[in-house]
Amino acid sequence: MKTLKNWTLAGREGATVTLSLQGGRWMRISVLEQDLIRVSVLGAEGWRLDRSWSVAPQQDVPFEGRHRDLLDGFTCPDFALEEAEAGLKLTTGTLRLTVAWPLQLIWEVHLDDGWRVFAADRPTGAYMAGTRDHAHAHFLRRDPAELVYGLGEKAGDLERSGRRFEMRNLDAMGYDAETTDPLYKHIPFTLTRTPEAGCWSVFYDNLANCWFDLGNELDNYHTAYRVYRAEDGDLDYYMAWSPDLAGLTRKQAWLTGGTAFPPRWSLGYSGSTMSYTDAPDAQAQVAGFLDQITAHQLPCDSFQMSSGYTSIGPKRYVFHWNLAKFPDIDAMTAQFADADMHLIANIKPCLLHDHPRYAAAAQAGLFIRDSEGDGPEISVFWDDEGSHLDFTNPATLDWWKDNITSELLHHGIGSTWNDNNEYEIWDRGARCHGFGQPIDIALIRPLQPVLMTRASRDAQVAHAPEVRPYLISRSGAPGIQRYAQTWTGDNRTEWKTLRYNNRMGLGLSMSGIFNIGHDVGGFSGPRPGPELFLRWVQNGIFHPRFTIHSWNDDATVNEPWMYPEILPQMRAALALRYQLIPYLYTLLWQAVTQHQPMLRPTLLDHPDDPRCRQENDEFLLGRDLLVATVIEEGAAARDLWLPENGTGWWDIHSGQYHAPGQQLSMPVNLDTMPVFVRAGAVLPLSLGAMRADPSCDQGRRLAVFPAPGNFHDESLLYEDDGQSPDALDGNHWCLCITLTGRSDVLDVTLTAAGHWLPAWDRLELSLPAGEHRPLRVNGKETKVLYLKDIPNS
């Protein structure tokens, strides 16, 4: 690769300044917002790939992608452009960017004490471009005092500095959650906290394989640096600044199109296992799950059907029903519908060479094509070989949607689990249709699962337009969250997975992908022992996706009733999950409408607390719940840090108040699920629900957790019918809760908005055991308020 050093100003057009670089290349610098600037390097012949599917500030992009030249959806504010001896300066109301010689970008932010550098390119060669290929690299100076986060679901600690990571989607079954890299998703986005100049993020809008070295690499000829390297594609990146990391997370979620709004039932417990559908009597096994849920009187909302329903022998054949294992599909789905439980079917984007429909699909040109011939590409898949469907081909999209409709939706299976979609095609020149403009697979591997999932969503919406769709996808790139929930893949059953899966999930959440979870209990390897299984469930209930899923080595199944000796604790954990559904649903709504992460590391809400910047095993669910579940084998105590939040924390179980900013050591046993509520919060809870469907709710409790002394705080409760597509357009009920305290009284003021009303008719309010001030609700001393008495704004 060649280092790009020389540049001249070629001109300015609107929001974009263009520099002429050596070798006929160009650099474009576009001011998109006061705190967001885009930098692009184009070759002499223009873009390597002239479309983006990740950047979507207007919610979504066409199937064929958004042209990279477009700046639609950005405000593109005016900025000053000044040529000076030190270089070229672009200045917005917030940022100043200097282009120096040799080519180097220096980023500054305007703070109270003037301009501060928050990021800068490496002065001794910042940009490299391939001369015989399209590889490229971007080098930034590295400050050892900086903290770096992001990159999605990476293994190990949440803070990434000093390590090297690769983006190359792999089916990493049984991965080590502390060390394995790469994994399933392609998220080329980092967030950096500086010691004195706020926080900044950089998002590389490129879907080719790439590497991030965040301080592992040393070179005697250069100052300390960090580097992004890509084997192909375009160097096209977005640099954002924010006073805190939370602002960067919100901006990334907005930039990549926001978050899908699935039905409310998706927050309930979802059962799953490979074993049921692999069994010779699979339909009876699946039906048996319903029987056990009923017999044990456990709450559950859905069941995820693994791919065994498509089997011929030991292999998987998408859209093929094994009628020996499932002799009466419609009877099975009717049985689940009668139990008010939703079925989600596993589907895969690769057809094995002996698939009954392979020849017809090949004849129709539905597969990605080999780089050296006219036939389909051939890749290893599920212990054999097959060809991957090309979702950049409109004919493939139609075929896929038709098969989802006929093979699943018409049978009463309303949701899809888009799995094994890493697209491990190593023929880099394998050809994709590209919606009429052919594209090498090396440029868009992570896009294929995104388009696959989008096509699945469109089929579901067309079939049932009256309900919001629910989908899961294992692989993907920025933008996958617009269509689906995701999880951290096929984890391995061991204690450390519990710890590091939490950190992987927080990494995804900080990277703008909020609706996430893990395979509770561990997917592969030995079956979990009773203690590990229980601790995994007690932790899993605090994640948006709560699914117990397994493929244990001994063919056992991870089920809530797996160990009778811990069944009481399992019941308690599931009951707490369902109590929290109103809070979780409110968080989901805030993720969709305000780009607020549901899961958060404690440092996100407490950036000034130095203890929160240390690696820890606590996390926040929304802003109000501090989760400190037990993740150590045989633990007799749980040591944790209560962040300095200015108001304190209440133990949700005991009702004991704790001052903030202190170390706490709690004695624990198998019953213990340490959770603390932020003082000042009002937590909406369900009363006795056995389903996440709001029609099954028996009522709503507002658990009031006051701060000491004088204070003022606000909380929200969002409600709708759980499924209507027009919920965000006003077909909902939103309760604004204001909590004010003095030394002698607590006042709760409730006002409502929206066109929908819940089925229950009143709210019950409660105080923790350690709070003794009288409570007034809308001016009256009461702990019950009827909805008809709540003013509507």
Residue numbers of the domain that contains 553? 264-353+392-594
What is the per-residue pLDDT for 688? 86
Residue 742 lies in a domain: yes
Alpha carbons 518 and 501: distance in angstroms, whole number: 7
Q: Are 432 and 309 found together in one domain?
A: yes
Q: Are 91 and 184 found together in one domain?
A: yes
Kind of pairing, strands 762-766 and 199-204?
A: unpaired
Query: Domain count of the chain?
Result: 4
Under a CB-based contact definition with an 8 Å cutoff, are residues 42 and 28 in contact? yes
**DSSP characters for 218-278?**
--TTS-SEEEEEESSS-EEEEEEEESSHHHHHHHHHHHTT------GGGGS-EEEEHHHHH
Q: Are 216 and 306 found together in one domain?
A: no
Q: Are 694 and 650 found together in one domain?
A: no
**Which residues of the chain fall below pLDDT 70?**
none
Cβ neighbours for 540, distance < 8 A, ≥ 6 positions apart: 517, 518, 520, 546, 547, 548
Residue 3: name the closest of 227, 251, 177, 213 by CA: 227
From 558, 575, 594, give the residue that closes a domain.
Answer: 594
Q: How many CB atoms lie within 10 A of CB 124?
A: 16
User: Terminal CA-to-CA distance of the chain, rounded, Å?
Assistant: 62
Instruction: Report the CATH number at residue 645.
Output: 2.60.40.1180
Q: How does pLDDT run across 607-661, given as a tens digit for each residue?
A: 999 999 999 999 999 999 999 999 999 999 999 999 999 999 999 999 999 999 9
Residue 568 lies in a domain: yes
Q: How many CB atoms lie within 10 A of CB 32?
A: 23
- The secondary structure of 23-89, three-state, reads HHCEEEEEEEECCEEEEEEEECCECCCCEECCCCCCCCCCCCCEECCCCCCCCCCCCEEEEECCEEE
Residue 311 lies in a domain: yes
From 539, 568, 594, give the residue that closes a domain.
Answer: 594
Alpha carbons 98 and 769: distance in angstroms, whole number: 58
Cβ neighbours for 709, distance < 8 A, ≥ 6 positions apart: 741, 742, 743
What is the per-residue pLDDT for 770? 94
For residue 784, give the 3-state DSSP assignment: strand
Q: Are 669 and 689 found together in one domain?
A: no
Cα distances (angstroms) measured from residue 615 to each of 143, 504, 611, 612: 19, 13, 8, 7
Q: Are 142 and 16 found together in one domain?
A: yes
From 209, 232, 255, give the residue that closes a domain.
Answer: 255
Q: Are 536 and 631 found together in one domain?
A: no
The percentage of residues in the chain with a pLDDT greater than 90, rounded to a whole number, is: 97
Residue 362 lies in a domain: no
Buried b (16+ CB within 10 A) or exposed e, 51-70: bbbbbbbeeebeeebbebee
Instruction: Report the CATH number at residue 587.
Output: 3.20.20.80
Cβ neighbours for 373, distance < 8 A, ≥ 6 positions apart: none
Which tokens go with 91?
């200045």
Q: Are 543 and 405 found together in one domain?
A: yes
Q: Are 15 and 161 found together in one domain?
A: yes
For 416, what's the count of Cα atoms within 13 Å in the CB-facing half-sphere?
A: 33
Residue 383 lies in a domain: no
Q: Are 550 and 411 found together in one domain?
A: yes
Rounded to two decimals, what is the model's pTM? 0.98
Cα distances (angstroms) measured from residue 474 to each of 208, 339, 490, 517, 614: 18, 28, 9, 11, 30
Residue 359 lies in a domain: no
Residue 358 lies in a domain: no
Interior angle at CA 265, CA 263 and CA 270, nearest 5: 125
Place of tokens 């919920």: 727
Instruction: Report the CATH number at residue 250.
Output: 2.60.40.1760
